[in-house]
Amino acid sequence: MAKWIPAEVWSEFSEGSHFAIFNEYKDHKRETIQKAILALNPKDDPVGYVTTIEMDAGTIYWQYGGIFNDFRNRDFGEAVVNTGLNLCRQQYDRVTFRVENTNAAMIKTALKCGFLIDGVRIFNQKTYLEHTLEFK
């Protein structure tokens, strides 16, 4: 299951969640998101999240996200992505995101879930692959 979390509510969890996934501090006051998706297991435990920005009426961009440590390496990745996609499908025509080209697990998961790689960006000496999934 997944649910939308408004940005003002997410700000309470933002710093801790970002640190848990990326092992780096990110000040919640610098968030540019409009809402987050929180993925839950059947016991309502948070499994993962993704922060989002609406790019236009039909496009949502997944900014930061991942699987929390207790659920990593347990085949939750594809399920979490698909849960988020099911939520987005109700409201948008497409989902886009970028992932560092060294993140093989997320690249594989994205391809399994139907995303296509449609671009490359280089930023701060890192290479990112742009992914898009069209629902319609």
pLDDT for the residue numbered 27 = 86
Instruction: Return the domain boundaries, the chain.
Output: 2-134
Q: For 25-51, what is each residue's pLDDT tens digit?
A: 888 888 889 999 999 989 999 999 999
Q: Is the pLDDT of residue 73 over 80?
A: no
Residues paired with 60 in a beta bridge: 54, 95
CATH topology assigned to domain 2-134 = Aminopeptidase (3.40.630)
pTM, whole model, 2 decimals?
0.91
For the beta carbon of residue 130, count every other beta carbon within 10 angstroms: 15
